[in-house]
A and B are shown apart, each in its own frame.
Chain A
Amino acid sequence: MTDLASRGAPLPTPTAAPTAAPKRVRLHPFGLDGAPTLLISLATGAALIGLWFLVAWLRLVPPLFLPGPEEVFTQFLAILDDGYAGATLGEHVSASLFRISTAALLAASFGIPLGLAMGLNRWVKGVFDTPIEFYWPLPPLAYLPLMIIWLGIGELSKIVLLTLAMFAPICLSAQAGVRSLPIERVNAALSLGATRWQLFLDIVLPSALPEILTGLRIGIGVGWSTLVAAELIAATRGIGFMIMSASHFLATDVVFVGIGIIAAWAFAFSYGMRLLERTLVPWKGKS
């Protein structure tokens, strides 16, 4: 053993000096591993539209069932100019937006406080768990007849239907947000002299905020998917109404226009919520 004796002796120099552009390596990834998917998604979208063009051009499917893209676009321009079923496109869109926004506002202003209270208090949780767990898995179409019988065919029944559909995910997320709060964070605040009200405002609410925003995003998504059902109720305006009415006349191109408009608005809302999340909870996933 000459380890001790050779201490301080010069180390052998590496044979090759590093080249100008060394080869960069990283650990072998597993699964998705955060790899970007945007370009793949865009290409898929383009391919699907291309396939649509091709099917329409080759007349593989009768246009009654699948109108071509240019037909749908022409119909879109026509509705934009002349409206549909006695109302302009703007009136249809704003009727739907009004219902969704009012319902979202109602669902949030009841769902968030109730969810927070359910996360904090066993009595509130005990009382409200049963009705919420009972009704929220029900498809809105199932209780739609009750809405009509109880609340009539005006705006009220449509907005209540949408509110009920949005309420459960918002309320349950707020509750989950409170439950995700680590007890150490509560203890830390108490040992810094927080009163119960300060604990709620400065610790509980911001801790639950990421989950609350996720709940709102899911809730608004559910709202859009319930819209057509809500507008089945004797509506004369609204995108959902437009789709249902067009289907009665086999106006498939109008159905496509309606679907496209709902998809675009739902995407815009979802994207807006993501932006809101980025502004309000920039720390999400970083702590």
Chain B
Amino acid sequence: MLHVQNASVFFSARDGRMVHALDRATLDIDANSVVVALGASGCGKSTLLNAIAGFLPLSDGSITLDGQPVDKPGADRGVVFQKDTLLPWKSVAENVALGLKFAGVPARDRRERAEELLRLVGLDGFANAAPHELSGGMRQRVGIARALATDPKILLMDEPFGALDSLTREQMQELLIDVWARTGKRIFFITHSIEEALFLGTTVVVMSPRPGRIVARFDLDFVRQFAQERDVRAILSAPRFAELYDEIRNLVHRPHDRSHDGGDRPQ
């Protein structure tokens, strides 16, 4: 169980002003769940992910993973970034196995595990390719395989499909559901696409900016439905899907929301 309790983050903007990036967020991520944080720019969703990953200390509150306090990055939390962070001097397989190398796994076992993971993300045959030879979608597949290699307790995904074209994005969403169904990893996923949130999340938390806080929570089962029936159209045309879409849309675009006056999403 990943447990976020009253987590708050304040930091200084470049002009010295104090930014209240995250306000008393409380969130549980149970086994076998996909929790999606949804919101406009500056709502604190990336701040929350960075804190869970251990890249950013909290000003107040606590984060624990299976009872252990989270205060620095570690291999028990795999991260998939928006912009892929593959190492250009290593082959695809070496990139996937990077965490295993850090853990001291012998080269032959690393290679075997990397090939297994590349099969899982639909990239068998690309083990020896260089990252720059791959398309954006394929690079994100490598990113997912790399994050899974160390067998983390949770997968943290920071708008991983945000930079992809819409067709590739749909393929990647289905791939992620397959990976989730097969590995049973719990996932914390960030997006600003309502449709993506509804499609992927077992839980969707809606966040609003200034200060960034969680304003609503929905428990869903479209993702389980897709994992079983594999019928996208049935889900997208379900009346419940449309209702939720409208409800969340109204939450995200509330009149007092000033998210259009300049994005200050923490990097």
Contact = CB atoms under 8 A, between A and B. Distances in A.
Interface in B63-118: 72-75, 77-79, 81, 83, 85-89, 98-99, 101-103
B79 A188 contact: yes
A281 B87 CA distance: 12
A209 B146 CA distance: 24
Given A187-B55, A283-B89, A286-B88, A202 B81 contact: no
A13 interface: no
A187 B75 contact: no
B73 A187 contact: yes
Given A203-B87, A206-B89, A283-B130, A191 B53 contact: yes
A32 to B, nearest CB: 23
B131 interface: yes
Contact of B81 (A184, A206, A286, A287): A184
Nearest to A199: B102
B33 interface: no
Contacts of B78: 191-192
A202 B90 CA distance: 10
Main secondary structure of the interface of A (DSSP, over half): helix
A276 interface: no
Interface in A169-213: 182-185, 187-195, 198, 202-203, 206, 209
Secondary structure type dominating chain B contacts:
loop
Contacts of B77: 191
A192 B89 contact: no
Contact of B102 (A184, A198, A209, A287): A198
B150 A188 contact: no
Contacts of B73: 187, 190-191
A203 B147 CA distance: 17
Nearest to A190: B73
Interface string A253-287: 00000000000000000000000000001010011
Given A187-B73, A206-B89, A195 B81 contact: no
A183, A190, A191, A194: most-surrounded residue (chain B CB, <10 A): A191
B184 interface: no
A191 B54 contact: yes
B132 interface: yes
Contacts of A184: 81, 83, 85
A196 to B, nearest CB: 11
B146 A192 contact: yes
Given A187-B79, A206-B87, A195 B130 contact: no
Contacts of B99: 192-193
Contacts of B131: 287
Interface of B: 53-55, 72-75, 77-79, 81, 83, 85-89, 98-99, 101-103, 130-132, 146-147, 149-150, 267
Given A185-B87, A191-B79, 18 more contacts: A187-B53, A187-B73, A189-B98, A190-B54, A190-B74, A191-B53, A191-B55, A191-B74, A191-B75, A191-B77, A191-B147, A193-B150, A209-B89, A283-B88, A283-B89, A283-B130, A287-B86, A287-B132
9 contacts: A182-B85, A183-B267, A184-B83, A188-B85, A190-B55, A191-B147, A202-B87, A206-B87, A283-B88
